[in-house]
Amino acid sequence: MYPLSPARIYVLERVYQDSRWVKRLERILRSLNNAPDPVIITGKNLPEVLEELKTLWPPATVPPELPKSFTRPLVFTTMELHLPRPNLKNLLDKCPKGTSLGELENIYGHMSTAIDQHPHSRDQENNCVCWPTYNFGTIVGCSHGCLYCGEGREGKFLSVALNLEEIMEKVVRPVIEANPWNRVFRMILQGADLITFEPEYGLFDLFSQTLASYPERYGHFHTSSANVDWLAELKHKERLVGVWSVSCEKVAQEIELGTGKATDRFDAARKCQEIGIPVRFKFKPVIPVKDWQKEYAAVIDYALKNTQPESIGFCLYIWNTFESMSRTLPLDLLDPECVQAAREAQEEMKGKRCGPFPHETRKNIYRFLIQEVRRRNKEILLYLSTETREMWDELKDELGQDPRFYICGCSSVAVPGKKLALNPGLRYSTYNVTPV
């Protein structure tokens, strides 16, 4: 796992109820750098813990060899699987002023268990083209510290659920069995890059074993990490698909602060290919830094010289306004023409999920990226990720796929081998009004 150096480690007392959870905790603790002794969270010391957590992040100083985000405190907990979940509002009254219910929920494991991501009705409302897919998650927060990510920028701590065996039996299996149309499930939720805690965490060993007990069911690991050597040891790695969010070198170094070099991800994908795990890339978010054409051309060249991905997708930096972009990204690092286009389009893009860059700016960038791939590979499957119907209509011929049923990186029907497992439960992407 990553060489994290957390400022403080906390363990919710109920973790010690099960020897499997304790062993998982001990494996992780042994892998940390200079790990302080854990503080056990009880009902009595909860207010003191919360008061301390307010002071630990961001840190005043960081060792020069470490990304700042690697020092974020860790809270080890168990996901609360009893329904209804206990009411935490009474506890909130005893906590320090300014404590949010969300902080308590993360400490006590009131995490999202599974989400029906991108249903047709919601994507129609948001003018977003994607595929419905069930997402699972077991960690809240991320060690990468990417500037465009709220959890990465501002999260006070990472919350890590340790009762993975229970989660497989009470969450993952029931969702698989209740949704036979969903052939590939995503292990990605709550801003977490889950493979950064592997193999000590053991999540993907259990996840792949669970998937292997069902015919033709697979799972994505969705990552910006190069931590993949452990995958070779998994018994059922054939049930996994690797999906990387990739970027150019300037974005990796200046904006995705804890991810390492951009080329590291392509090297990691090559290792996965060599052990039989299919790989796919998403340039997401594409951030138009200065000299972005040169930057992205270089990394596309590196990717296609060193790997054979099943697909490549593109998505600009979206879900933002010009104001939010100005608060979170260093504008002097960005292409001045793109910044000016976003500034001038503030009224036009108001209320649109594809902001801050207007349609023409995004289209021109997509066209460049498509052409750079096609100069090197005429056959690879290309797509747009969570873009608008209008953008698909304009670029579908250049992409070479039908937006109604296209192969992307991490959809519920994009099974290994560049195939779509369309079925009576799901025949069309959310480009269509309905799934069938």
Number of other residues whose CB lies within 10 A of the CB of residue 200 = 17
Instruction: Scan for tokens 């977003």, then name that residue.
Output: 128
User: pLDDT, tens digit, for every residue of 275-301?
Assistant: 999 999 999 999 999 999 999 999 999
Locate tokens 């003191």: which residue?
Answer: 48
Provide the 10 A C-beta neighbour count for residue 35: 16
Q: Where are the domains positioned within the chain?
A: 111-420
Question: Measuring CA to CA, which residue among 218, 224, 230 is closest to residue 244?
Answer: 224
How confident is residue 117, by pLDDT bands cut at 50, 70 and 90? very high
Measured between alpha carbons, how far is 341 from 156 in angstroms, rounded to an integer?
34
Q: Are 230 and 200 in contact (CB under 8 A)?
A: no
Residues recorded for the chain: 436
This prediction has a pTM of: 0.97
Question: Which of 101, 93, 105, 8 shows the shortest CA–CA distance to 47?
Answer: 93
Confidence check: pLDDT of 436 > 80: no
Structure confidence by residue, pLDDT tens digits, 298-350: 999 999 999 999 999 999 999 999 999 999 999 999 999 999 999 999 999 99
Q: What is the pLDDT of residues 353-397, one digit of tens each?
A: 999 999 999 999 999 999 999 999 999 999 999 999 999 999 999
The phi and psi torsions of 159 (rounded to 5 degrees) equal: -110, 120
Whether the Cβ atoms of residue 365 and residue 399 lie closer than 8 Å to each other: no
**Mean of pLDDT over the chain:** 96
pLDDT in tens, 53-96: 999 999 989 988 899 999 999 999 999 999 999 999 989 999 99
Q: Could you identify the residue written with the tokens 């002023």?
A: 97
Instruction: Dump pLDDT digits (tens) for 28-43.
Output: 999 998 889 999 999 9
- What is the pLDDT at residue 63? 86
DSSP 319: S
Q: What is the Cα–Cα distance from 60 to 419, expressed in whole angstroms? A: 50
Identify the band that residue 7 occupies on the pLDDT scale cut at 50, 70 and 90: very high
Q: Which fold has domain 111-420?
A: pyruvate-formate lyase- activating enzyme (3.80.30)
179-222 per-position pLDDT tens digit: 999 999 999 999 899 999 999 999 999 999 999 999 999 999 99
pLDDT tens-digit readout, 391-435: 999 999 999 999 999 999 999 999 999 999 999 999 999 999 988
Neighbours of 187 (CB within 10 A): 22
- What's residue 33's pLDDT? 84
Q: What is the DSSP letter of 139?
A: E
d(CA 371, CA 198): 36
Average pLDDT for residues 7-21, to the nearest whole number? 98
pLDDT at 333: 98
Per DSSP, 36 falls in state P
Query: What count of other Cβ atoms lies within 10 Å of the Cβ of residue 96?
Result: 14
So what's the pLDDT on residue 65? 86
347's CB contacts (< 8 A; 6+ apart) are none
**Beta strands per DSSP E along 94-210:** 114-117, 133-136, 139-140, 158-161, 184-187
pLDDT in tens, 141-152: 999 999 999 888
CA gap 89, 71 in Å, rounded: 30
